[in-house]
């Protein structure tokens, strides 16, 4: 079985003077991630690998998740996640080594929400700071698809 966590970065600042790539999380966004991590800990989340967009807000989100969930590995930044389209995200995920059973991907909408819908048909919004868990009944990331996908939950950051 493969487990995929799709996480949209937390609440970002509004700053017209910064390039989109350099926009950071707000203090409220950072705080809300702490609450989210507490709920994820109660679900006994296990992460083998964190893959993140290199945009500052996604990196900050990944770092807070890693710290609060006691993830000991390295966060891998992947340029293809930033401004990705659906097929690019699927391709990026499919390149994951099969010894990785639990992948936590931090990225951006609309691709993240579109991917969650493709695999699960969930109609809930993937807001900033939301994480969707999807389990796949397969042994290889190359084989993940909507036919072997199972929606497990969506959690939103905040209180």
| Per-residue pLDDT reduced to its tens digit, 65-87 | 999 999 999 999 999 999 999 99
What local confidence, expressed as pLDDT, does residue 7 receive?
Answer: 97
Distance from C-alpha of 93 to C-alpha of 33, rounded to nearest angstrom: 23
The enclosing domain of 109 has a CATH number of 3.40.50.1240
CA distance 82 to 107: 7
pLDDT tens for residues 37-60? 999 999 999 999 999 999 999 999
Q: Is the peptide bond before 133 cis (omega within 30 degrees of 0)?
A: no
**DSSP 8-state secondary structure symbol assigned to residue 12:** B
Q: Rounded to two decimals, what is the model's pTM?
A: 0.95
Residue 85 pLDDT = 93
Please say whether the beta carbons of 6 and 134 come within 8 A: yes
CB atoms closer than 10 angstroms to residue 117: 16
Q: What pLDDT is attached to residue 37? A: 95
Are 90 and 84 in contact by the 8 Å Cβ rule? The answer is: no
Average pLDDT for runs of 10 along the chain of length 159? 96 86 92 94 95 97 96 94 94 97 96 94 89 98 97 87
Domain region containing 58: 2-155
Number of domains in the chain: 1
């Amino acid at each position: 079985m493969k487990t995929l966590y799709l996480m949209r970065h937390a609440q970002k600042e509004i700053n017209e003077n910064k390039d989109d790539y350099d926009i950071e999380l707000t203090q409220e966004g950072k705080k809300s991630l702490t609450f989210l991590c507490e709920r994820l800990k109660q679900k006994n989340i296990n992460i083998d690998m964190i893959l993140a967009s290199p945009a500052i807000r996604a990196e900050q989100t990944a770092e807070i998740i890693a710290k609060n969930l006691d993830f000991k590995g390295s966060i891998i930044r992947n340029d293809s996640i930033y401004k990705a389209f659906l097929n690019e995200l699927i391709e990026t995920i499919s390149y994951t080594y099969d010894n990785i059973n639990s992948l936590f991907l931090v990225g951006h909408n609309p691709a993240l929400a579109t991917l969650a819908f493709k695999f699960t048909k969930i109609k809930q919004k993937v807001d900033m700071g939301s994480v969707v868990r999807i389990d796949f009944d397969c042994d290889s990331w190359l084989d993940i698809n909507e036919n072997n996908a199972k929606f497990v939950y969506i959690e939103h950051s905040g209180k």
